[in-house]
Structure 1
Amino acid sequence: MLPLRSIAVFHAAARAGSLTRAAMELGVTPSAVSQQIAALEVQLGTALMTRQGRRIALTEAGQRYLEMIAPHVERIAEATLYVRGTLSSASLIVRATPSFATKWLLPRLPRFLDAHPEIELRVDATNEPTDFTREGVDLEVRHGEGEWPGLMAEPVAEERFLPVCAPGLVAAGSLRAEDLGAHRLIHSVKSQVKWAAWFAAQGLPLPASRRVLFDRSHMSVDAAMAGMGIALESTLMLGDALEDGRLVCPVAAPPEMRRATQWLVCPPDRLRHRRVQAFADWLRAEARTWERESLEKLKQAAKKLVCS
């Protein structure tokens, strides 16, 4: 008889990387999780996991076993949800970073939902990269360099990185780059374009000014709008804050710093699914529109500074 309960518990623990987190997910005690895994190891005649402090690590046999069972466990879970009626055959699961999901994706989602009422969309906002062999995610917008072997990865859009702050803190275009050191700088620690690179592009050292650090771009943007300091952020993450005046660029002629940091990612065969292709096509169209409108807005803002 297959030890299905023990297999499910092992899968949950391996995915969580912790007996405690797996126990919370399953609604049991950590000792119950440990007992189920031990029973499975007895049946298989080999060790599957080892403890490393509070975390667990898979043995070579455990890793191989996980690779073999994971797709089937995920399919069983999806089938169970489908039969229960909580997951339809038209469900689409999209993963995105919290900052991208909050600042860019969410304001535009109504257009996708109106265009595709037959698709039941779930957005999973997390910075954890998807393991497409083990998780039921269809498509991901991933932050990074775009190099993930075996996956289709295409840039969402070309972003521009600008200093921004609340207009009540510093007026638009009123500072030179060397003046920024007199103000608190807001650092987005996971950004691919940081203050040190911005100053270096103008031949200046990073000033030893007051600073505050955030590990999420949306927090840096919100802190800047609250008047906490001057942030260096991507136009992709600024939303409508520049257009509606909640944020301004305090530097008259900021250097052109462009980069793609958000990527549309999935296994190539996923694009054969119509719902996945529909979302990918919609995202590409929205990104093209955003790039065109964003560039025009930046040009208009530059003209206003020249005329003022």
Structure 2
Amino acid sequence: MTLPLRAIAVFDVVARCCSLTKAAAELYVTPSAVSQQIHSLEQHLGTTLLKKAGRGVALTEAGERYFEMIAEDVQRITEATQRIRGFRSRSALTVRTTPTLGSKWLLPRLQKFLDANPDVELRLNATTEPTDFSREAVDVEIRHGEGQWPGVYVEGLAEENFLPVCAPSYAPANSMDAGELEQHRLIYSVKAQLQWTQWFASAGVTPSAEWTRLLFDRSHMAIDAAADGLGVALDSNLMMWRELREGTLVCPVRNSPQFKLTTQWVVCPFDHLRKAKVQLFLEWLRQERSEWQNEQRLFTFSPDGVNESADKR
């Protein structure tokens, strides 16, 4: 059976606009022509995709499911068609990353990559969902986990040091022992590989049955909450490098246990390593990693929370 590709493309626009009139304007056709295409698609599928909603339209339950299934593929076809037609002369690089690494570590460094590679059009996709490279147009992913994914290239981004942190206004650096932490509000990143129970066990502390918690499903939210003085968070120096360097976060615990983990991994199919744009990105990423690691060796955090260069000590 022949797919009604034109009708599918029209439905994609209508679903995004939630308006037949706006979709018609974007497609340079009449609203009547849009309605005809939608009706044709509904007949083909044997179900209703749209319903009236005030002056506009809304997706039915079947319409929502259908749009979720086709939206990404329609976008891929659109971009592929534009590139083949010569609409874009630049090379498009799609990188998927975890939200926290993307906002806290990768984004502040991207200017150097863009300046060095002006012909590369970068698309950054932040999500915790692992990429299905067989059907998704993603060149490289930076994935959170333990690094054990068979059948793909895997390279650890960097070893991270996990430590408790808070705003210096909440508690000064090195101002308490590990056992005192349970008296404070503890900020949780619920998807992090290291949790407070593990930290307390390593510190030799048996916390009471109850303590005050603040929970987030994203580490960048936990980090920001700590910097805003809402409590004490447990996260890695990779994600908090800027806050630690600038002194907006300090470690309030004397002799905090050391937890070194690699939680972020560069992942892609082996054949993607032959792509010039992927090679450029990985070379730049390794250089940024090296500079960050050198910065960690050059700086320490003094008892009063002020950063000091190793050359001055």
TM band (smaller chain)? 0.7 to 0.9
For residue 56 of structure 1, report the CA deviation from its aligned partner: 6.7
For residue 206 of structure 1, report the CA deviation from its aligned partner: 4.0
**Distance of 1:79 and 1:226 partners within structure 2:** 44
Question: 2:79 aligns to what?
Answer: 78
Question: 2:3 aligns to what?
Answer: 3
Q: Secondary structure at the match of 2:150?
A: coil
Which residue identity does 1:235 align to in structure 2?
N
Root mean square deviation of aligned Cα: 3.5
Deviates more, 1:125-134 or 1:209-218: 125-134
Which among 248, 251, 264 is matched to residue 250 of structure 2? 248
Which residue identity does 1:171 align to in structure 2?
P
Question: 1:116 aligns to what?
Answer: 117
**Distance of 2:83 and 2:221 partners within structure 1:** 36
For residue 39 of structure 1, report the CA deviation from its aligned partner: 3.5
**Distance of 2:144 and 2:189 partners within structure 1:** 13
For residue 244 of structure 1, report the CA deviation from its aligned partner: 1.2
Q: Secondary structure at the match of 1:252?
A: coil
**Distance of 1:209 and 1:84 partners within structure 2:** 61
Map 1:1-308 onto structure 2 (within 5 A). 2-5=2-5, 24-25=15-16, 36=41, 39=44, 76-82=77-83, 87-207=88-208, 208-298=210-300, 300-301=301-302
Q: Deviations over 1:50-102 (max 9, x none)?
A: xx999979xxxxxxxx9xxx99x776333223257665451111111111111
**Distance of 1:209 and 1:296 partners within structure 2:** 37
Which residue identity does 1:249 align to in structure 2?
C
Change beyond 3 A, Cα 1:179–1:96: same
Report if the CA contact (8 A) 1:132-1:267 is conserved: yes
Change beyond 3 A, Cα 1:33–1:7: closer
Report if the CA contact (8 A) 1:166-1:224 is conserved: yes
Change beyond 3 A, Cα 1:185–1:36: same
For residue 6 of structure 1, report the CA deviation from its aligned partner: 8.9
Which residue identity does 1:210 align to in structure 2?
T
Q: Deviations over 1:282-305 (max 9, x none)?
A: 11111122122124323x537989
Larger Rg over CA atoms:
2
Q: Deviations over 1:116-145 (max 9, x none)?
A: 112111111222221111111111111111
Report if the CA contact (8 A) 1:97-1:126 is conserved: yes
Identity %: 46
**Distance of 2:75 and 2:194 partners within structure 1:** 37
Which residue identity does 1:260 align to in structure 2?
T
Change beyond 3 A, Cα 1:4–1:295: farther
Which residue identity does 1:142 align to in structure 2?
R
For residue 23 of structure 1, report the CA deviation from its aligned partner: 7.9
Q: Secondary structure at the match of 1:161?
A: strand
Report if the CA contact (8 A) 1:7-1:40 is conserved: no
Report if the CA contact (8 A) 1:130-1:140 is conserved: yes
Change beyond 3 A, Cα 1:33–1:228: farther
**Distance of 2:106 and 2:154 partners within structure 1:** 18
Change beyond 3 A, Cα 1:193–1:33: farther
Question: 2:56 aligns to what?
Answer: none
Q: Secondary structure at the match of 1:241?
A: helix
Which residue identity does 1:273 align to in structure 2?
K
Paired residues, number: 273
For residue 149 of structure 1, report the CA deviation from its aligned partner: 2.0
For residue 33 of structure 1, report the CA deviation from its aligned partner: 8.8
Change beyond 3 A, Cα 1:189–1:295: farther
Change beyond 3 A, Cα 1:277–1:223: same
Structure 2 segments unaligned to the other structure (5+ residues): 21-36, 47-60, 307-313
Q: Secondary structure at the match of 2:243?
A: coil
Which residue identity does 1:39 align to in structure 2?
H
